[in-house]
Structure 1
């Protein structure tokens, strides 16, 4: 029975895998659009500011990935579903003050899920165009962290990808690697499930216990947590 399940996971058709990658991409767009809107609220921006920050947060990583792939126009500029989904996530954060109705744990879960699904989608999309494992890991990571980095720069924050926060880009690298390995073994669906599970678990653990990479040779293990969503 277990062997049958693995066989089904590995025999996913190219069309089904493409649709799965798109669904993951769009879920990351919505989640990051919402997170961008939440941060826009903390800066007391107006509706236009919300939309700029939310849309950049939701679409930035994917546009960077598609531009570097040089495999046609970035999908966010040709498929209007992407802009619609990013706008919807942003408007959700504009209309409802989510920080008043949800806990910090919920935001951490949303952040971890968005990071993981985008790393998976970015890695798989890179493999789909015929590039090797190293570009797939690199572009999976860029997909996951690119939009957030641009958003943070616009908000005059130090981008999380540069460190000083619990494991972030490291999680994206690991998730992308898991996806690449599973795809090379002929089990991309297993890679999706394993990558997201590993990514969410590691990111939440890092946020809970303050796991960080060394910042200097004088670095010592600590338990400081990132105070921002």
Structure 2
């Protein structure tokens, strides 16, 4: 099995999982069947559509591969038919989310490398692929996208996974990078969720606070002299 086939399988895995997750979010908003399917499609296909549009390497895979749209719809429909409890969510869905985040970061990075772009675009599109669908979904539901905060490590995990894939591809071992990326990303995301790891939020310092500290230090320093014009 070549790396192209592996990438497609991983991409479809992410499509299904995020279609399911999108449908689960639709249930929390009490949407109807059309809402489930719509949010499932957006969640499952959004990141890949953004990635393929930016790559400008032919039509997006979601429009040319007959499996993409049905896979996302199946995920949304499954969420409609099955009601999941909060306990189920905590036990299962964060694991699924971690897997989807990892496989999409890998596919985004690998597809970027496959079209001849460098490592930095590969990292960028790895992150966009991983978080794009969820961000668009949250905006449609008038929620602050999870990637912007209030969540355990998310985009940073995608960056780590994309970096592993890029590094291993550079050494000629993309399949090893795929395995290492999925394992590392899934473990890191789950651990971050359980332990509450998150990036720091904005500081409370204001510019005048810094200036006040500098001026107070200058007044206490007897050796301080104003700058000379000479």
Q: TM-score range by the shorter chain?
A: 0.7 to 0.9
Runs of 4+ in 1 over 3 A off after TM superposition: none
What are the equivalent positions in structure 2 for 1:13-162 lying under 5 Å apart? Answer: 16-99=2-85, 102-162=88-148
3-state SS of paired residue (1:98): coil
Query: Which of 147, 150, 165 is the aligned partner of 1:164?
Result: 150
Do 1:164 and 1:215's aligned partners in 2 also have CA atoms closer than 8 Å? no
**More relative contact order, 1 or 2 (CA 8 Å, 6+ apart):** 1
Give 5+ residue unaligned stretches, structure 2. Answer: 206-230
Q: Distance in 2 between matches of 1:16 and 1:169?
A: 28
Give 5+ residue unaligned stretches, structure 1. Answer: 1-14, 220-229
Structure possessing the higher radius of gyration over alpha carbons = 2
Task: Give the count of matched residue pairs.
Answer: 205
> TM (normalized to structure 1)?
0.87
Other-structure match for 1:206: 192
Query: Which of 172, 175, 188 is the aligned partner of 1:186?
Result: 172
Q: Distance in 2 between matches of 1:98 and 1:92?
A: 11
Query: CA shift at 1:125, angstroms?
Result: 0.7
> TM (normalized to structure 2)?
0.86
Cα RMSD (Å): 1.4
Deviation readout 1:162-221 (Å, 9 max, x if unpaired) = 1121110100011000100000011111100110111001100110011111102259xx
Q: Distance in 2 between matches of 1:27 and 1:101?
A: 23
